[in-house]
Amino acid sequence: MITVSRKAHFNSAHRLYREDWDDAQNLKVFGKCSYPNYHGHNYNLVVSVTGEINPETGFVINLKDLSDIIKQHVEEKLDHKNLNLDVPEFKGLIPTAENIAVVIWNILREKIDKKLLLKIVLYETERNFVEYSGA
């Protein structure tokens, strides 16, 4: 088994809050990320695909194909969007890095050969990142 990875990037706005909490409670739990007028992050994404090398091509997955899948189904959907307002997956789901990672993973899982393992790492800042591989 061998792993290949592709990096991608998108900018999105979000706000972390619960409607059923008041502003003070939201501020206490979510800090600055709860400010009412939204704020942006420069998200970096690393998508890793693990499998056997196809003896015919020498590839685990064609990285051009993987790049196109990420561009079409993740970047187009999230880049320069307000995650709370513009992206249906976040209706009723707080757009934390954790939840964004799960949403991205679910989208990509549908598009990549089931024989291949899929893991993503999502950086919300240089120092804060989450990892998800479906379990």
Residues near Ni ion, by CB under 5 A:
33
Q: How far is the CB of 26 from Ni ion (least distance, A)?
A: 13
Q: Which is nearer to Ni ion, 33 or 70 (CB)?
A: 33
Q: How far is the CB of 106 from Ni ion (least distance, A)?
A: 21
Distance CA 106, CA 14 (A): 20
Choose among 40, 55, 58, 62: nearest CA to 113.
62
Q: Which residue is nearest to Ni ion (CB)?
A: 33
Q: Collapsing DSSP states into helix, strand and coil, what is residue 71?
A: helix
Q: Classify each residue of 89-100 as buried b or exposed e, where b means 16 or more C-beta atoms within 10 Å of its C-beta.
A: bbeeebbbbebb
Q: How far is the CB of 97 from Ni ion (least distance, A)?
A: 8
Catalytic hit among 9, 39, 80, 110: 80
**Residue 41 annotated as catalytic:** no
Catalytic positions, written as ranges: 33, 80, 124
